[in-house]
Amino acid sequence: MKWLLITLACIQLSECMIRVPLYKGKSGRDVLKEKGLLEDFLKNHPYDPCSKFEQPLTLETSEPMINYLDLSYYGAISIGNPPQSFTVIFDTGSSNLWVPSVYCSEKSCMVHTRFNPKLSSTYRSNNQSVSIQYGTGAMKGILGYDTIRISNMVIHGQEFGLSTTEPGGLFSWFKFDGILGMGFPSLAASGATTVFSNMISQRLVDEPLFSVYLTRQQGQSGSEILFGGIDSSHYTGQIHWVPVIHDAYWEILIDRVTIDGEVVACSGGCPAIVDTGTSLLVGPSTPIDNIQQGIGATPTSYGKYNINCNNLQNMPDVVFTINGEDLPLPPQGYTLQQTFDDQKSCSSGFAATSRNLWILGDVFIGEYYSIFDFGSIRMGFAKAV
pLDDT band at 322 (very low <50, low <70, confident <90, very high): very high
Distance CA 336, CA 304 (A): 11
Taking only Cα atoms into account, the Rg of the chain, rounded to an integer number of angstroms, comes to 20
284 pLDDT exceeds 70? yes
- For this structure, is 247 an active site residue? no
Does the pLDDT of residue 59 top 60, yes or no?
no
pLDDT at 98: 97
Of 25-34, 148-157, 253-262, 332-341, which range is least confident?
25-34
Report pLDDT for 205: 95
The yes-or-no answer on residue 275 being catalytic is yes
| Whole-angstrom distance, CA of residue 180 vs CA of residue 102 | 19
pLDDT in tens, 97-126: 999 999 999 999 999 999 999 999 999 999
First to last CA, the chain: 32
Q: pLDDT confidence of 341, banded at 50, 70, 90? A: confident
Please state the rounded mean pLDDT for residues 145-169: 94
Model pLDDT, residue 129: 97
The domains found in the chain, sorted by start residue, are 18-213 (2.40.70.10), 231-384 (2.40.70.10)
Check 70, 146, 177, 275 and give the catalytic one. 275
State the virtual CA torsion across 172, 147, 151, 141 in degrees, nearest 10. Answer: 20
Rounded Cα–Cα distance for residues 349 and 330 (Å): 11
- What integer best gives the mean pLDDT of the chain? 85
Looking at residues 322-336, what average pLDDT do you find? Answer: 97
Neighbours of 56 (CB within 10 A): 9
Contact 120, 102 (CB under 8 A): no
What's residue 220's pLDDT? 66
Instruction: Decide if pLDDT at 66 tops 50.
Output: no
C-alpha–C-alpha distance, residues 328 and 180, integer Å: 30
Alpha-carbon span 353 to 52, nearest angstrom: 12
Nearest to 182 by CA among 22, 11, 322, 334: 22
- How far, in Å, CA of 247 to CA of 254, rounded? 16
pLDDT band at 303 (very low <50, low <70, confident <90, very high): confident
Of 50, 59, 32, 5, the residue nearest 284 (C-alpha): 50
Helix, strand, coil percentages in the chain from 3-state DSSP, rounded to 5: 20, 40, 40
Predicted model pTM:
0.87
Phi then psi for 207, rounded to 5 degrees?
-130, 150
Q: Bin 7: left if φ > 0, else alpha if -120 < ψ < 50, else beta.
A: beta
Is residue 370 over pLDDT 70? yes
> What is the distance between the alpha carbons of residues 110 and 102, in angstroms, rounded to a whole number?
9
Q: Which helix (H) or strand (E) holds 289?
A: helix 285-295
Residue burial 98-122, b: 16+ Cβ < 10 Å; e: rest = bbbbebbebebbebbbbbebeebee
Q: What is the mean pLDDT of residues 297-318?
A: 93
Of the candidates 333, 151, 158, the residue with the CA atom closest to the CA atom of residue 229: 151
pLDDT value at residue 263: 98
Q: What is the mean pLDDT of residues 300-329?
A: 94
Query: Cα separation of 303 and 50, whole Å?
Result: 14
Q: How confident is the model at residue 337 (pLDDT cuts 50, 70, 90)?
A: confident
Per-residue pLDDT for 71 more than 90?
Answer: no
Instruction: Give yes or no for residue 172 having a pLDDT over 90.
Output: no
- Whether residue 86 contacts residue 174, with contact meaning beta carbons closer than 8 Å, is answered with no
The set of residues, in sequence order, having a beta carbon less than 8 Å from that of 370 and lying 6+ positions away, is 211, 212, 274, 379, 380, 381
Q: Residue 248: how many CB atoms within 10 A of its CB?
A: 16
Amino acid (one-letter) located at 343:
Q
From the list 30, 48, 70, 91, the catalytic residue is 91
Averaged pLDDT, 185-213: 96
Report whether 283 contacts 329 (CB < 8 A).
no
The predicted structure's pLDDT at residue 352 = 92
Pairwise CA distance, residues 333 & 356, whole Å:
24
For the residues 224-251, what does the mean pLDDT come to? 95
